[in-house]
Amino acid sequence: MRCREFTIGFDTKTPRLRPQPRPLRPGKGAVTSTFPYRVSRGEPEVLEIGSSSENCDCRFALVVNWIANGGQKSTTAGEFRVVPR
């Protein structure tokens, strides 16, 4: 199972989900995961999403859109809160 790590920074005008670089194998350079990408039944994926803020107290929901078996689907998770550190 692969874990793809992302962060959302809420200190910009338009927050964006950004991939976090990580090495695929020891001794190899860091790579990032970008959208869109394919997930197969035999290779499950884990998405780890972190958030950060230095200036705002933010509430948000996470909306995930995907295509499966030729149909578009969407799921909304949240409400989440991020507070300044």
CB distance 52 to 7 below 8 Å = yes
Computed over every residue of the chain, the mean pLDDT equals 82
Q: Region 68-80: what's the mean pLDDT?
A: 90
Containing domain of residue 19, as a range? Answer: 2-82
Predicted confidence band of residue 75 (pLDDT cuts 50, 70, 90): very high
Confidence of residue 40 (pLDDT cuts 50, 70, 90): confident
pLDDT at residue 73, rounded to an integer: 93
Return the residue matching tokens 């929901």: 61
Percent of the chain with pLDDT over 70: 80
**Contact present, 5 and 22 (Cβ < 8 Å):** yes
The listed range with the strongest mean pLDDT (15-19, 23-27, 59-63) is: 59-63
Give the total number of structural domains in the chain: 1
